[in-house]
Amino acid sequence: MVSRRPLALGAVGHLLLEITNNFLPVTYPLLMPLLGLSFTQVGLIALVHSACGALPQPLLGAAAQRWGPERIIVISLAWSGVFMGCIGLAGSFGAALALAGLGGLGAAAFHPAGSMSVAGAAAATSDGRQRRGAAMSLFSVGGNAGSALSPALMAVALGLFGLPGTGAAVVIGLGSALLVWRLLAAGENPDGAGPGAGGGRRAAPPARGNRHVYPLLPLALIVVFAMARSWFQLSIASFLPTWTADSLGSAAWPLVLFMGCVGAGSLSGGRLSDRIGRTRTVLGAALLMIPAHLTFVHAPAAAQLAAVAVLGAALGATLPVTIVMAQERRPHATGVAAGLVIGLGGLPAGIGASVTGLLADALSLYAALQWTVLALALGALAVIALAFLERDGGLPTPPRTPRETRQATPAAPTT
């Protein structure tokens, strides 16, 4: 069994972090008329928030690998809540841009430390390798549940208090940081580490054979897929409320559906990858997203909601799996590996949202959303290339899942 306490604390911390960090799209319909923002400026806010939440992650992952993730996790919860909660008080485009960037740094600090700690907790058990996907799913679903709750809770706060209602994130961020700190101080984690129990322990380095090749080419393809996924996901999430406000008459709740299905996909994706293999899981989801997106753009209202659900579930299923795939290729630096997939892989998210905003201003939102299918195609090609390399035997493959091991073991001869 994977140790439950550090995983549960990590998942709860991830949930609280994302509640304070993922409500920006719900504020755009109010910020745009108040500050006179264009689609391009909205895209730039998303770009800065995403870049500040992505670029520092490999570096912060290395720091967590060296010093342990506990302090980073506590500080990041408070940091994100304070700066994101002040978005509603921004009096200009520049102020909103700065607050979004500062708030993104909280997520940049939390994600590599949290995912490193979960990998450490799974690896500390006898079956950690086989259950690593399920463990990362639990961590991911905590964050995706927070992402789903964030626009819903903020929609209520905005409805009650207007834009100053974003201050609820300050209360949540400071309260969650205090809660996690108190749990750590009270020794709730028997190992003396918070969500990062076991995460600071360095795994044994891989065998020397092929070490200079093994981590790099497959890891590069995984990061390319993560980049394409993040480009597409934030583009959709940023403009989904504006699109559905016109087509469905609702801005917040289709986004809640989308993020909720991302969470459900995250919960099942890691477990599925433990059974059928990491690459098969990601490839199947990548190929499913393309027709689902085309349905979302072109279909009538009822089918749009179904396509939004499928897109969210498929996107979510790939997130924990790609993190584990990277960590299995860098077992001696799981924090850095997670930082590369979540951070560097997430960097194009803001660029994608910005480009989508530019296209929407120049052409139309309908045309801009159509072009985002190219990101999905690039991601699918990257996974196909990875599957080909592994099948072809040109590169070493990661550890087999239990089912793959049983299938590869020849049956004992009968007498």
**Residue 210 is assigned to a structural domain of this protein:** yes
- Whether the pLDDT of residue 206 is over 70: the answer is no
Q: Which of 115-124, 130-139, 362-371 has the highest mean predicted lDDT (pLDDT)?
A: 362-371
**Residue 402 is assigned to a structural domain of this protein:** no
Burial string for 46-66 (b: 16+ CB within 10 Å, else e) reads: bbbbbbbbbbbbbebbebbbe
**Residue 319 is assigned to a structural domain of this protein:** yes
* Structure confidence at residue 352 as a pLDDT band (50, 70, 90): confident
For residue 87, what pLDDT is reported? 93
* Structure confidence at residue 402 as a pLDDT band (50, 70, 90): low
**Residue 414 is assigned to a structural domain of this protein:** no
- Whether the pLDDT of residue 378 is over 90: the answer is yes
Number of domains composing the chain = 1
Q: What is the pLDDT of residues 287-315, one digit of tens each?
A: 999 999 999 888 877 788 889 999 999 99
Lowest mean pLDDT among 25-39, 217-231, 383-397: 383-397
CA dist 359 and 38 (Å) reads 12
The whole-angstrom distance between residue 95's C-alpha and the CA centroid of its chain comes to 26
- Whether the pLDDT of residue 385 is over 80: the answer is yes
Lowest mean pLDDT among 45-54, 59-68, 120-129: 120-129
Higher pLDDT, 229 or 241: 229
For residue 211, what pLDDT is reported? 44
**Residue 36 is assigned to a structural domain of this protein:** yes
The whole-angstrom distance between residue 379's C-alpha and the CA centroid of its chain comes to 16
- Whether the pLDDT of residue 330 is over 50: the answer is yes
Q: Which of 32-41, 65-74, 77-86, 258-267 has the highest mean predicted lDDT (pLDDT)?
A: 77-86
Q: What is the DSSP letter of 374?
A: H
For residue 299, what pLDDT is reported? 80
Q: Which of 256-260, 284-288, 355-359, 389-393 has the highest mean predicted lDDT (pLDDT)?
A: 284-288
For residue 122, what pLDDT is reported? 67
CA dist 70 and 64 (Å) reads 8
| Separation in Å, CA 345 to CA 116, 222, 238, 338 | 16, 8, 18, 10
Length of the chain: 415
The percentage of residues in the chain with a pLDDT greater than 90, rounded to a whole number, is: 31
**Cα three-residue angle 261-50-162, rounded to 5 degrees:** 75
For residue 205, what pLDDT is reported? 44
Which tokens go with 97?
Answer: 């841009």
For residue 146, what pLDDT is reported? 85
**Residue 405 is assigned to a structural domain of this protein:** no
Mean of all residue pLDDT scores within the chain: 81
For residue 254, what pLDDT is reported? 81
* Structure confidence at residue 344 as a pLDDT band (50, 70, 90): confident
- Whether the pLDDT of residue 124 is over 80: the answer is no
Higher pLDDT, 182 or 163: 163
* Structure confidence at residue 76 as a pLDDT band (50, 70, 90): very high
Q: Which of 20-34, 195-209, 323-337 has the highest mean predicted lDDT (pLDDT)?
A: 20-34
For residue 140, what pLDDT is reported? 83
**Residue 107 is assigned to a structural domain of this protein:** yes
Question: CATH number for the domain including 62?
Answer: 1.20.1250.20
- Whether the pLDDT of residue 125 is over 60: the answer is no
Higher pLDDT, 73 or 208: 73
Phi, psi for 330 (deg, rounded to 5): -135, 60
What amino acid occupies position 28?
Y
The percentage of residues in the chain with a pLDDT greater than 70, rounded to a whole number, is: 81
The whole-angstrom distance between residue 339's C-alpha and the CA centroid of its chain comes to 11
Asked if 13 contacts 114 with a C-beta cutoff of 8 angstroms, the reply is yes
Higher pLDDT, 139 or 214: 139
- Mean per-residue pLDDT for 274-281? 89
- Whether the pLDDT of residue 283 is over 70: the answer is yes
- Whether the pLDDT of residue 19 is over 80: the answer is yes
- Mean per-residue pLDDT for 222-250? 84
**Residue 399 is assigned to a structural domain of this protein:** no
- Whether the pLDDT of residue 208 is over 50: the answer is no
Q: Supply the range of the domain harboring residue 165.
A: 4-392
For residue 182, what pLDDT is reported? 82
For residue 245, what pLDDT is reported? 74
